[in-house]
Amino acid sequence: MALTIEKKKPLRNLYNRVNRQELKERMRNSTEERITLSYYKYAQIADPKAFRDELFQLYQSLGVLGRIYVAREGVNAQLSVPSDNFEAFKNAMNEYPMFMGMRLNIAVEADGKSFFALIIKVRDKIVADGIDDPEFNPGNTGTHLNAEAWNELTSDPDTIVVDMRNHYESEVGHFENAITPDVATFREELPHVAELLSDKKEKNILMYCTGGIRCEKASAYMKYRGFDNVFQLEGGIIEYDRQVKAQGLENKFIGKNFVFDERLGERISSDIIAHCHQCGAPADTHHNCANTHCHILFIQCPECAEKYDECCSEKCADFIQLPLETQKELAKTEVFNGSKFGKGAYKAFRKSGPELRMKED
């Protein structure tokens, strides 16, 4: 049954009215303790716009910040909640039948400054998958595994582990011996993985992602494509790390878990498996280029961050030294790395091997 929203009173103040820079400054200067978390829920929502507006008003009243997507198929949320309001937040969520008892993935590493604004958007889907076949049943998912079962099954030589995240996520961290497709989007990865493993349908296929939401669809898609032994990591990397620590299990994840907030990553193991995109030194810290007209996502070591003023190139480093009005005018015609490449394409201007460097414009 589709979820309907009963409007009890007119909803107001449903969007942010403060500019981005001021919101960032407020968060940096805040001493309020906050809890960073994520959740997702597949459910039928009859009126996503009405639900979005009601959720915005509720979260605003509780001081929640974050990025939330609402669609007819459910809700996908990454957010932070003031510690003092956490119990009120959980109680308010449990007032909705579809959220009752839902798992909340608490961040592994967070100082509460992961988000600086409340943004809730209506989308066609909470996870863009490119699937338009009415015969596809997203509810026919694979078998969910807890951390202990995951560790046991990954030790089986007939098991294939697949990372269902984008390449810039798996570059800084992934499970041992996992297949890490060189793809930029989830919708690109689904058919790619199915084709890649088309001759291995008798194998155990284990899939994982950050918090579980992508694997809900991925495991269902693999079953739709004829794979029978499909499994997914319950709660994703975030819940796996929690269970490993709580139960004293072996940690089979190496490196960092990429996250989609201001932190851009949380450490799961001490291993650094990636390299600086400018000098090739071991590094796994993602940055967005400090030139806001570029803003490309890349990995940078501390030395290069100092050398290039946290920019992706000498061009961008020189550009941010110009007066703001000059920057604004030149940006109309200048082309930066971020103008040419998206998150999924920054590998295009990296060299391989020990001479790994980012090209200068």
> Residue 4 falls within a domain, yes or no?
no
> Which residue, 87, 122, 157, sits at the end of a domain?
122
- Residue 68: which residues within 8 A CB-CB, separation 6 or more? 55, 59, 75, 76, 77, 78, 79, 119, 120, 121
Question: Could you give the CA distance from residue 272 to residue 43 in angstroms, rounded to a whole number?
Answer: 38
pLDDT at res. 132: 86
Per-residue pLDDT, averaged over 187-195, amounts to 94
> What 3-state DSSP class applies to 339?
helix
Structural domains of the chain, count? 3
278 and 232 both lie in a single domain: no
239 and 295 both lie in a single domain: no
279 and 349 both lie in a single domain: yes
- Interior/surface letters 319-356, b for 16+ CB within 10 angstroms, e for the rest: bbeeeeeebeeebeebebbbeebebbebeebbeeeeee
279 and 222 both lie in a single domain: no
Question: Could you give the CA distance from residue 320 to residue 336 in angstroms, rounded to a whole number?
Answer: 12
- Retrieve residue 45's tokens: 């929502």
- Residue 161: which residues within 8 A CB-CB, separation 6 or more? 154, 175, 176, 177, 178, 179, 206, 207, 208
Residue 354 has pLDDT above 70, yes or no: no
> Residue 269 falls within a domain, yes or no?
no
pLDDT at res. 262: 78
Condensed to tens digits (0 to 9), the pLDDT of residues 195-211 reads 999 999 999 999 999 98
- pTM of the prediction? 0.79
Handedness of CA 96, 99, 104, 110 (dihedral sign): negative
Question: Could you give the CA distance from residue 348 to residue 325 in angstroms, rounded to a whole number?
Answer: 31
90 and 148 both lie in a single domain: no
Active-site residues: which are they?
209
pLDDT at res. 225: 95
What residues pair up with 120 in beta bridges, in sequence order?
68
**Lowest-confidence pick of 58-67, 152-161, 174-183, 346-355:** 346-355
Residue 273 has pLDDT above 70, yes or no: yes
Query: What does R_g of the chain's alpha carbons equal in angstroms?
Result: 21
- pLDDT confidence of 6, banded at 50, 70, 90? very low
223 and 156 both lie in a single domain: yes
- Retrieve residue 42's tokens: 């597949």
Cβ neighbours around 146 below 10 Å, total: 15
Residue 140 has pLDDT above 50, yes or no: yes
Question: Could you give the CA distance from residue 112 to residue 33 in angstroms, rounded to a whole number?
Answer: 6
Here the CATH number for the domain that contains residue 185 is 3.40.250.10
> Residue 71 falls within a domain, yes or no?
yes
> Residue 88 falls within a domain, yes or no?
yes
**Lowest-confidence pick of 33-37, 94-98, 183-187, 347-351:** 347-351
32 and 96 both lie in a single domain: yes
Kindly report the average pLDDT of the chain as a whole number: 87
77 and 148 both lie in a single domain: no
115 and 30 both lie in a single domain: yes
Quote the DSSP letter at residue 54.
H
Quote the DSSP letter at residue 323.
-
Quote the domain boundaries for residue 152: 143-254
Residue 16 has pLDDT above 80, yes or no: no
174 and 240 both lie in a single domain: yes
153 and 240 both lie in a single domain: yes
241 and 293 both lie in a single domain: no
Question: Among 58, 39, 50, which residue's Cα sits nearest to residue 3?
Answer: 50
Cβ-contact 187, 130 below 8 angstroms:
yes
Q: At what angle do helices 147-154 and 236-247 cross, to 10 degrees?
A: 100
Here the CATH number for the domain that contains residue 117 is 3.30.70.100
Q: At what angle do helices 213-224 and 186-196 cross, to 10 degrees?
A: 40
- Interior/surface letters 177-199, b for 16+ CB within 10 angstroms, e for the rest: ebbbbebbebbebbeebbeebee
Residue 46 has pLDDT above 70, yes or no: yes
> Which residue, 223, 254, 285, sits at the end of a domain?
254
pLDDT at res. 18: 57
